[in-house]
Chain A
Amino acid sequence: MAVDKQLALKLLKQMMEIRQFEDKIMELLARNIAEGGSHLYAGMEAVAVGAISVLRPDDYITSTHRGHGHAIAKDGDLKALMAEILGKKTGVCKGKGGSLHLADVSKGNLGANGVVGGSIGMATGAALSVKMRKTNQVVVCFFGDGATNQGIFYESLNIAALWKLPVVYVCENNFYGMSVSVKRASAVEDLSRKALAFDMPAETVNGMDVLAVREAVGRRVEEARNQFQPSLVVANTYRYYGHSRSDPRVYRTREEEKFWKERDPIPNFASRMIEQGVLIEQEVTELEEQVRQSIEEATRYAIDSPWPEPEELYTDLYA
């Protein structure tokens, strides 16, 4: 798959933004500047970036409890996202949503979700709306391996296949639903087989390879857009941090973590691009520094932003 410099820089930049954003959130949590918790996307960047890179700006996504990566890749504003995670007035949801509810409907991001599988029905409904309004948009629905054990997963895939809806279900298989491994939670380890029940095309892709994700989801998005063919893409990937900050990661080995970190989507993609002569080392270093500055700016903006006024408690409830 040919990649030009512009695309390589865009993909690399988004993945770096997500990684550094997540590392920064971890730091803010440790320093108690960010209160509460956050489920971090570090390690999984290639999935959100690769999948969303094939979408039009007006296409929709639905996201998950581990949703910072999707929000950034769907043209999210780093400052507004960081401020939202801190609960500030300037947050993308005015400080009322937080990490678990990052959303920007104006950019086609129908939101992160605090409930595993909670947005699969919504994604399917957005695809129905697209088809009824004849707008040629596509919906990409992200969820994790754990969500494939929820009832609404089966209800929704059945409806999408039955009604021929333009939705691509992207399962981010990071092998653990909180602490319970896929082996211990799912009777079928190859999660793509769960689509067989609906005669829905499905495939598994290396979720640590941004170009592989881009190729597979790109193909499926075109089928959805042009033929109303829904599909399931399972991207095998890994989350570097624990489920949340209090997670001691006793359910997985340090060897396993090392195995996946050797397959890190960011340096691997960067060196591949350098090898192929698409980028030079200096461009990668400069990009990393540029991203570092934008994350620092976003952090300062979020920390310096005001809290919501008390009157905000009762606004935005009803339209």
Chain B
Amino acid sequence: MREISYRQALNEALNEELVRDQTVFIAGEDVAIYGGAYGVTADLWKKYGDERVKDTPISESAIVGVGLGAALTGMRPVVEIMYIDFIPLALEQINNQAAKIRYMFGGKCTVPLTIRTEGGAGRTLGAHHSQSLESWLIHIPGLKVVMPATPYDAKGLLKSSIRDNNPVVFIEHKMLYNSKGPVPEEEYLIPIGQADIKRQGRDVTVITYSRMVLFSLQAAATLEKEGVSVEVVDLRTLLPMDIDTIVASVRKTHRVLIVEEDCKTGGTGAEIGMLIMEHAFDELDAPVKRLAGADVPMPKSPVLEKLAIPDPERICQAIREVLQ
């Protein structure tokens, strides 16, 4: 199978959905002429013009609001918030409006709106361009939250997100855009809400998502040499969370490490840990452990930034602790 980058996989997904459905359009900051801050929408403006690939003013709240209004009235917008750090500017529209409107209206409308954004640390961009704010978003009933780790998942899940009749926040990772992986030429979809076991193992389960999937797989390969068999569960979708796959893996290994890039306190891992307590406590042979981002604003210094998020070495160490 051919190998393409995460960036190209996303670009193909957007292009294919623009071809397939005339109600799909793209809007966001620098998405047209520039092709997106990270190049995801490259060349789409040349093909589809201003009508369907729209540069917007720097107005995050209105970008989501306009997308919502269009989604309510027959269009299928894909809007981009350049950095997840700018999501707070649009959070009123996401939390109070887009996510709740269907329920508030008694189910008498649909909101086929995709909000693409990008997060995570790794480029030493400091505290306003490196955050992982997904736990804020999974606290919003009515939303779906998708965070793919591989080019294959990115493409299949973005296409599903665009076709979904609910508001989806699709969170990419800035350090994954250049990563490559197999992606078939022919069309495929990946259902929202399904985790994927990226590596089968017997001794311990690592539950993770986005870039931390890659780090966890590296840690698993290292530990294999020590005779430890690590299972890596890639959640892929955080809301709704695939509790069945999590529980099945816990039943198999009886030990769990959660690896997340977001700040530990009130983070996604807290939710995963409690779900395990509720659904699989009796299966556990050891307390669930979390390896998470530090509870600090992301520092600029490359040295400090590396310390602020998990890395393969510390994942190995945490797994060894879970196994003790």
Give the Cβ gap from A212 to chain B, nearest Cβ, in Å.
28
Cα(A113)–Cα(B104), bound, Å: 10
Q: Which of A90-142 contact B (CB under 8 A)?
A: 91-97, 101, 103-106, 110-111, 113-115, 118-130, 132-133
A319 interfacial contact with B, CB 8 Å = yes
Contact of B62 among A97, A121, A316, A318 (CB under 8 A): A121
B228 at the interface (CB under 8 A from A): no
**Nearest CB of chain A from residue B103's CB, rounded to whole Å:** 5
Which B residues touch A122, using CB under 8 A?
A: 65-66, 68-69, 72, 97
Q: Which residues of B contact A155 (CB under 8 A)?
A: 57, 59, 61-62, 65
Measured CA separation A97–B106 after assembly (Å): 7
Q: Which residues of chain B are near A105, meaning CB under 8 Å?
A: 72, 105, 108-109
Q: A317-B102, A318-B166 are in contact. List 7 more A-B contacts (CB 8 A).
A: A103-B105, A105-B72, A115-B96, A118-B92, A133-B23, A152-B61, A158-B62
Query: Of A97, A162, A317, which one neighbours B57 at CB under 8 angstroms?
Result: A162
A93 touches B104 (CB 8 A): yes
> Does A282 count as interface, using CB distance less than 8 angstroms?
no
Q: Which of B25, B93, B107, B144 contacts A316 (CB 8 A)?
A: B107
Q: How far is the CA of A114 from the CA of B25 in the complex (A)?
A: 29
Q: How far, in angstroms, from A156 to B66 measured CA to CA in the complex?
A: 8
Closest 9 CB pairs of A and B: A121-B65, A125-B69, A316-B107, A94-B106, A155-B62, A155-B59, A125-B66, A93-B106, A122-B69
Given A96-B106, A101-B104, A156-B66; A129-B93 close (CB under 8 Å): no
Interface size class of A (residues with CB under 8 A): 35 or more
Tell me the complex Cα distance, A94–B110, Å: 16
8 A Cβ contacts from A258-289 to B: none
* A319 vs B142: C-alpha distance when bound (angstroms): 9
Q: B185 contacts the other chain (Cβ, under 8 Å)?
A: no
- Closest A residue to B77 using CB positions: A125
Mark interface residues in A36-78 (1 if CB within 8 Å of B CB, else 0). Answer: 0000000000000000000000001010000000000000000
A103 adjacent to B65 (CB under 8 Å): no
Closest to B54 in A: A163
Q: Could you say which of B69, B74, B106, B144 contacts A121, with CB atoms under 8 Å apart?
A: B69
Residues of B contacting A124 with CB < 8 Å? 62, 65-66, 69
Interface string of B74-112 (1 = CB under 8 A from A): 110100000000000000110011000111111111110
With A92-B106, A121-B62, A315-B107 given, is the CB distance from A132 to B101 under 8 Å?
Answer: no
Q: How far is the CA of A103 from the CA of B165 in the complex (A)?
A: 19
Q: Which residues of chain A are within 8 angstroms of B25 by Cβ–Cβ distance?
A: 132
Q: Which chain B residue has the least Cβ–Cβ distance from A120?
A: B65
Residue contact B56 to A159, C-beta cutoff 8 Å: yes
User: Which of B56, B77, B108, B166 contacts A104, CB < 8 Å?
Assistant: B108
| A310, CB-defined interface residue at 8 Å | no
Residue of B nearest to A125 (CB): B69
B178 at the interface (CB under 8 A from A): no
Q: What residues of chain A lie closer than 8 Å to B106, measured between beta carbons? A: 91-97, 316
A132 touches B57 (CB 8 A): no
Question: Would you call B73 an interface residue if the criterion is a C-beta within 8 Å of the partner chain's C-beta atoms?
Answer: yes
- Contact (A158, B69) CB under 8 Å given A93-B104, A104-B108, A317-B142: no
Give B89's nearest chain A residue, CB to CB: A151
Residue B230, interface by CB 8 Å:
no
Is the pair A115, B108 in contact by a Cβ cutoff of 8 Å?
A: no
CB distance from B111 to the nearest CB of A (A): 8
A130: B residues at CB distance < 8 A? 73
**Chain B residue, CB-CB nearest to A97:** B104
By a CB distance below 8 angstroms, the chain A residues around B57 are 155, 158-159, 162
A126 to B142, CA, bound (A): 21
Cβ A127 vs Cβ B107 within 8 A: no
Chain B residues closer than 8 Å to A104, beta-carbon distance: 108
A113 to B101 CA separation, bound complex (whole angstroms)? 10
Structural contact, A128 and B69, CB atoms closer than 8 A: yes
- Write out the residue numbers on chain A whose beta carbons fall within 8 Å of the beta carbon of B51: 132
Q: Are B64 and A121 in contact (CB under 8 A)?
A: yes
Tell me whether B71 is interfacial, beta carbon within 8 Å.
yes
Which residues of the other chain, B, contact A120 by a CB distance below 8 angstroms? 65
User: Whose C-beta in chain B lies nearest to the C-beta of A104?
Assistant: B108
Shortest beta-carbon distance from B292 to chain A in Å: 29
Question: A151 contacts B69, CB within 8 Å?
Answer: no
Indicate if the CB atoms of A319 and B165 lie closer than 8 Å.
Answer: yes
